[in-house]
Structure 1
Amino acid sequence: MREIKFRCWDRFKQRWSNYKINDGTVYFMDKNTGVWYGSYNKRYKDFNLMQCAGLNDKNDREIYEGDILSDGNNKKPYKVIFENGSFRAEFEGDFEEYSFDLIDVVVQGCEVVGNIYENPELMEERIND
């Protein structure tokens, strides 16, 4: 059985943060103050929790929801998404979005080059090239 892992992004502070799950409730930490926020607090919506796909890229780096993958030709950045119970790699073409099973993209030898929070420009630059 694989370990289910997550990571947490604080959209307000623009950095990685901590989270914990206690009695079925997710709590997020403000790293500046050390305060934990649960769903009862409006600051709770400032955090994004992303699940690990359970797969690694060609450099053995774990792949998480929100990561940006490159297939090596610098033309198509793939965004990792989790939707309808499965992970997919998605890229935007000239007229529409294309979606692939994440395992197919990993088998092609893609690598994690960033994520949608710290490196959003990676998605824009390659699409416009």
Structure 2
Amino acid sequence: MREIKLRGYSVERLCADSQWVEGFGVMTTEYANGTKDYTMFTYYGNYQVYGKSVGQCTGLHDKNGKEIFEGDIVKLEFDGIERIFEVGIETVVREVKSHPSFADKYAKVAITGVVFKWEGFQLFPCVDYQGMSDTERMEIIGNIFENPELLEVAK
């Protein structure tokens, strides 16, 4: 069974080097005045986190072996060109070639998975002719919660 791992940025100041906490669940509490609190459940206790910071672990690792989370910003240099992507977990509709015995040559399918958002596109991780995944060449350079300006620079 695959472990579901989440990450969020703690509202309270922590004694650790980082404000990020990893857990296994998030509870949203909505108040009558419209405000919300987000509580991250961890093995070490519960922490209030910023809702916009919460992201799920993708199960993928960057070239340095660091886990890639939803909301991370990654850099990929390929053929001398540097590209910056935002990592997401989304459902994307694509047209794919059908099985030869099916009436229609192509079918639309909804695929849910890890996507790399770039210039208005939602791209899936690719594997080259040698079997190497894009993610093995990528490097995490920040995240959309702490470093949104990295995406602005990329435009």
Q: Aligning the two structures, in what range does the TM-score lie when normalised by the shorter sequence?
A: 0.5 to 0.7
Deviation at 1:74, TM superposition (A): 6.6
After TM superposition, give the deviation of residue 18 of structure 1 in Å: 6.8
What is the aligned-residue RMSD (CA, Å)?
3.0
Whole-angstrom distance in 2 between the partners of 1:74 and 1:125: 15
Consecutive unaligned residues of structure 2, counting only runs of 5 or more, are 14-18, 39-49, 92-111
Question: Could you tell me which of 91, 106, 126 is aligned with 2:118?
Answer: 91
Task: Please give the per-residue CA displacement for 1:81-108, whole angstroms capped at 9, x wherever unaligned.
Answer: 111231100111xxxx122113559813
TM-score for the superposition, normalised by structure 1: 0.66
1:47 match: 51
- Which structure has greater helix proportion? 1
Aligned length in residues: 108
Q: State the percentage of identical aligned residues.
A: 32
SS in structure 1 of the partner of residue 36 of structure 2? helix
Give the residue type in structure 2 aligned to 1:7.
R
Shift of 1:20: 6.3
Q: Is the 8 A contact 2:5 2:24 kept in 1?
A: no
Instruction: Please give the TM-score of this superposition, normalised by the length of structure 2.
Output: 0.57
1:120 to 1:104, Cα distance in 2 relative to 1, 3 A: farther
After TM superposition, give the deviation of residue 75 of structure 1 in Å.
3.8
Task: Assess if the C-alpha contact under 8 Å between 1:75 and 1:126 holds in 2.
Answer: no
What corresponds to 1:80 in structure 2? 87
Q: How does 1:1-129 map to 2 (within 5 A)?
A: 1-9=1-9, 16=20, 21=25, 26-27=26-27, 38-41=28-31, 42-44=35-37, 46-48=50-52, 49-72=54-77, 75-84=82-91, 85-92=112-119, 97-102=120-125, 104=127, 107-108=133-134, 109-127=137-155
CA distance in 2 between counterparts of 1:89 and 1:6 reads: 18
Gaps of at least 5 residues in structure 1 are 28-37
**4+ aligned runs moved over 3 Å, structure 1:** 15-21, 102-106
> For residues 51 and 103 of structure 1, what CA distance do their matches in structure 2 show?
20
